[in-house]
């Protein structure tokens, strides 16, 4: 996908985990868990805007998810199509800027066009930057960035000794987006699952022991309150969290 560029603060990233287990515990098909997960996405976007979050990044489809059953992948893509068709106009009206990060390979043409159209339509909005990590894996992102660096060095556009961490960051999918201040993961799992490995270097983590379909505005607010109680040190002196 195209790289997203926008300055700002108060960035929350979420690993939306637990749709399948939510459905299994209720004797429902996994597709229903994913459908309820989309409802949670809507609630999370509304809550982010109400809580003053300026950037919200959601891990929606991992590059590792291709190993899931074909029917489940088809269901996920169908939900994405319906979400964009149903919600895009409302998001645009509310000033939401949509960005998409991840690899384009393997995606159907209509999915790519739909995502590109959503990005183009909302590119000038500023109330909230909603970044969707779709067909995304952090190791793949870093490898693609390294390939672009190598190409620029070979072309003489940049010297190898000038590749600092800051310069390297401009080759990532997230480009000039601020690094997340807070990562939230639902379902009680305590791992990153190949999500934003570079960008989360100094983020605060909050793990919430509910499945994604049960994630509410109150839980979002509680996670931000927990973040605000922490002192962020960035490897040096402490700094009170402000998001």
Is 55 annotated among the ligand-binding residues? no
231 is catalytic: no
DSSP element (H, E) containing 83? helix 70-93
Q: Alpha helices of 155-243 — where are they, by DSSP H?
A: 165-169, 217-228
Helix (H, G, I), strand (E, B) or coil at 184: strand
* Nearest Cα to Cα of residue 55 among 158, 225, 183: 183
Q: How far apart are CA 98 and CA 207, in angstroms?
A: 25
17 is catalytic: yes
Is 192 annotated among the ligand-binding residues? yes
* Nearest Cα to Cα of residue 41 among 55, 56, 30, 52: 56
Q: How far apart are CA 37 and CA 58, in angstroms?
A: 12
Is 124 annotated among the ligand-binding residues? no
Is 62 annotated among the ligand-binding residues? yes
As given in the structure block, the two tokens for residue 211 are: 């499945």
Is 185 annotated among the ligand-binding residues? yes
- In degrees and rounded to multiples of 5, residue 17 shows phi and psi of -120, 145
Is 194 annotated among the ligand-binding residues? no
Which candidate in 17, 75, 173, 181 is catalytic?
17
Q: How far apart are CA 33 and CA 28, in angstroms?
A: 8
Helix (H, G, I), strand (E, B) or coil at 204: strand
Q: How far apart are CA 21 and CA 183, in angstroms?
A: 21
Is 21 annotated among the ligand-binding residues? yes
Strand pairing partners for 15? 59, 185
Which candidate in 65, 116, 152, 214 is catalytic?
65
Catalytic (active-site) positions: 17, 65
| Binding-site sequence positions | 17-22, 30, 34, 62-64, 66, 68, 185, 191-193, 204
| Binding-site sequence positions for substrate | 18-22, 30, 34, 62-64, 66, 68, 185, 191-193
| Binding-site sequence positions for Mg(2+) | 17, 204
């Amino acid at each position: 996908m195209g790289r997203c560029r926008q300055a700002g603060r108060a960035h929350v990233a979420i690993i939306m985990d637990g749709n399948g287990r939510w459905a299994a515990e209720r004797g429902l098909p996994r597709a229903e868990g994913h459908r309820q997960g989309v409802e949670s996405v809507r609630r999370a976007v509304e809550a982010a805007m109400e809580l003053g979050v300026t950037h919200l990044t959601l891990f929606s489809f991992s590059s590792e998810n291709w190993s899931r059953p074909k029917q489940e992948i088809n269901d996920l893509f169908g939900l994405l199509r319906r979400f964009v068709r149903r919600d895009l106009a409302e998001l645009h009206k509310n000033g939401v800027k949509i960005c998409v990060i991840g690899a384009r390979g393997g995606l159907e043409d209509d999915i790519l066009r739909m995502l590109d159209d959503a990005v183009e339509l909302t590119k000038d909005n500023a109330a909230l930057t909603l970044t969707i990590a779709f067909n995304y894996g952090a190791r793949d992102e870093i490898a693609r960035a390294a390939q672009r660096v190598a190409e620029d060095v070979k072309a003489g556009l940049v010297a190898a000794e000038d590749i600092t961490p800051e310069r390297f960051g401009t080759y990532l999918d997230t480009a000039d987006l601020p690094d997340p201040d807070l990562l939230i993961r639902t379902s009680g799992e305590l791992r990153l699952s190949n999500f934003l490995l570079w960008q989360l270097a100094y983020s605060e983590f909050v793990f919430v022991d509910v499945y994604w379909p049960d994630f509410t505005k109150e839980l979002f607010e509680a996670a931000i309150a927990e973040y605000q109680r922490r002192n962020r040190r960035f490897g040096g002196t402490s700094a009170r969290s402000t998001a």
